[in-house]
Amino acid sequence: MKKLWLIIQREYMSRVTKKAFILGTILTPLLIGGLIFLQVKLVGYKDDNFKRIAVLDESGILKKAPDNQKNIHFSLFTEGLDKAKKQVVEKQFNGVLVIPKIEDATSQRFTIKYYSDEKLGNDMSDDIESKIEDFIKDYKVSTLGLDTTKIKALKTRIEIDPDPIEGDEDASTVSGLVAMAIGGMMGFFMYLSVFIYGMMIFRSVMEEKTSRIVEVMISSVKPFQLMLGKIIGVGAVGFTQFVIWFILIGLIMTGISTMIGTDSAQIAASNPQMNATMQGVQEVQAGGKMELALTELQNQNWWLILPMFFIFFLLGYFMYASLFAAVGSAVGDDQGEAQSLTLPITIPVIVAIYIMMAAVRSPDSSLAVWSSIFPLFSPIVMPARLPFHPPAWQIALSLTFLVATVIGLVWIAGRIYRIGILMYGKKVTFKELGKWLFYKD
């Protein structure tokens, strides 16, 4: 036990104290934050070309000059068009806006003139149009004698509220979309960590073998201890990294959202990397249902989802990490061989991520249900289904199979590992790996 602890310690410390790790852990969130910031800034980028505009109001609907904006400054002009144009030439104004007399208050088309040699950008003309539109609306309401409250009452927003016939859960579209986002994020997270840390173990086992340290090591400790120590140590590294990322990204997100005054969900939604999983949030937004989504987020049963996610995460990590360790022990320094042996491990992970994407769309399809029970896929698919409240028996069945598989695979990996690390210069096939299982110590 003391030896296992020593191994875990070394595996952990040797990685955590590396410059690359420290930089990667701190810089990645900063980079992501920077990218998001840039993106939000660019998407929300408005014409920053400052314009002073003279407004010549022939209609008399303007009681005062339209409110100034950041990049447009309006001033009412009463001295006639010719003089205004002259002042534009003299560069006192960038342009003259002429609002003609309103002939017919019921007309739905209305043209206003803008005199200038400079082009007016799309954003800017949109802004000006909407400002004048508001004035004309007010004018129409008063001339036509309309009731403002009745007009408001004309607007209706329709929402479909799907209610399950059995069970009492409220499954509105918003909650569906929120669940989709949470589920997708968890599945994606699983997928990433299996790859990053699984490959880390794989490389480290290979390195131990090629640097010939391994025979020195196993004259002091059992190969199984060495393998287990490595898996736990690297897992702890991953955990540390994720916690730091989580905190830093949280801080950066809040920082950005206060800086540009949008909420973090919007920021996340504008990030194309997260598109697949954040689609839910985007759709929620498109419907203007942000508050609803936020309450949905709070309404999630986090006391079930988070611990469950953690358990699936841990089991999934152990399952794939031990597979990577076993395969890593079997290859020498031959890169091609390494690739052909890791492929069979990476395929189920990739298939699982595709199933996960389908599962968040239709979490109760038979594909989603059975893959969330099948142990090779369940660590990725089941967490994605958790926000959709799968029946308890499915979770229990999935966990039972997964635990049994993990125990089995760790044992198998240990059997292969103990032979593999001492095997040099031999081309390894899967048939060979199978034989190693039955080698005596």
Partner 1 sequence: MDILKIDKVVKTYDKHIAVNEVSFSMPEGVIFGLLGPNGAGKSSLIRMITTITRPDSGHIYFNGESLNSSHPEQIGYMPEERGLYKKMKVGDHLMYLAQLKGLSYTEAREEIRHWFVKLDITSWWNKKVEELSKGMQQKAQFISTVIHKPRLLILDEPFSGLDPVNAELLKNEIYELHKNGTSIIFSTHRMEQVEEICDKIVLINKGENVLYGAVKDIKQQFKENLFRIDFTEDQALLPDLRSLNIVEQTPQYVTLKITGNQESNVILRHLLDSGVPIRAFNEILPSLNEIFIRQVGESNIQQ
23: tokens are 């930089």
Q: Which stretch binds partner 1 (CB under 8 A): 127-135, 204-212, 231-239, 350-358?
A: 204-212
Judged by CB under 8 A, which of 16, 112, 221, 290 binds partner 1? 221
142 binds partner 1 (CB under 8 A): no
CB-based contact 132:99 (threshold 8 Å):
yes
Pick out residues in 283-322 that bind partner 1 (CB under 8 A): none
Judged by CB under 8 A, which of 101, 150, 427, 440 binds partner 1? 440
- Which CB sits closer to partner 1, 32 or 421? 421
6, exposed or middle or buried, with CB in 10 Å at 0-12, 13-18, 19+?
middle
Q: Which stretch binds partner 1 (CB under 8 A): 157-165, 271-279, 324-332, 433-441?
A: 433-441
The one-letter code for the residue type at 301 is N
* Residue 415: CB atoms within 10 Å: 19
Judged by CB under 8 A, which of 92, 107, 220, 335 binds partner 1? 220
Judged by CB under 8 A, which of 212, 286, 298, 336 binds partner 1? 212
- Dist CA 242 CA 252 (whole Å): 15
Rounded least distance, CB 441 to partner 1, Å: 4
DSSP H or E stretch at residue 76 = strand 72-76
3 binds partner 1 (CB under 8 A): yes
Rounded least distance, CB 219 to partner 1, Å: 4
429 binds partner 1 (CB under 8 A): no
264: tokens are 């973090």
Q: Which stretch binds partner 1 (CB under 8 A): 39-47, 214-222, 250-258, 297-305?
A: 214-222
Rounded least distance, CB 264 to partner 1, Å: 39
- Beta-carbon contacts of 299 under 8 Å, excluding residues fewer than 6 positions away, are 175
Q: Which stretch binds partner 1 (CB under 8 A): 7-15, 85-93, 261-269, 351-359?
A: 7-15
Rounded least distance, CB 213 to partner 1, Å: 5
437 binds partner 1 (CB under 8 A): no
Scored b (16 or more CB within 10 A) or e, 288-298 reads ebeebbeebbe
- Which CB sits closer to partner 1, 211 or 366? 211
- Which CB sits closer to partner 1, 179 or 234? 234
211 binds partner 1 (CB under 8 A): yes
Pick out residues in 409-428 that bind partner 1 (CB under 8 A): 422, 424
- Which CB sits closer to partner 1, 396 or 422? 422
- Dist CA 230 CA 240 (whole Å): 15
Judged by CB under 8 A, which of 6, 16, 351, 412 binds partner 1? 6
- Beta-carbon contacts of 255 under 8 Å, excluding residues fewer than 6 positions away, are 33
- Which CB sits closer to partner 1, 156 or 219? 219
333, exposed or middle or buried, with CB in 10 Å at 0-12, 13-18, 19+?
exposed
- Dist CA 108 CA 146 (whole Å): 16
Number of residues that bind partner 1 (CB under 8 A): 23
- Which CB sits closer to partner 1, 385 or 418? 418
280: tokens are 């839910």
- Dist CA 243 CA 299 (whole Å): 24
408: tokens are 């089995």
441 binds partner 1 (CB under 8 A): yes
For residue 51, give the 3-state DSSP assignment: strand
213 binds partner 1 (CB under 8 A): yes
218 binds partner 1 (CB under 8 A): yes
Rounded least distance, CB 212 to partner 1, Å: 3
- Which CB sits closer to partner 1, 218 or 351? 218
Phi-psi region of 61 (alpha: psi -120 to 50; beta: other; left: phi over 0): alpha
Strands 113-115 and 95-99 come out as antiparallel
Tell the residue number behind the tokens 């990218």, with chain if given: 35
Please provide the DSSP assignment of 181-217 as one string.
Answer: HHHHHHHHHHHHHHHHHHHHHHHHHHHHHHTT-HHHH
Rounded least distance, CB 395 to partner 1, Å: 40
Binding stretches for partner 1 (CB under 8 A): 3, 6-7, 10, 14, 18, 208, 211-213, 215-221, 422, 424, 435, 439-441
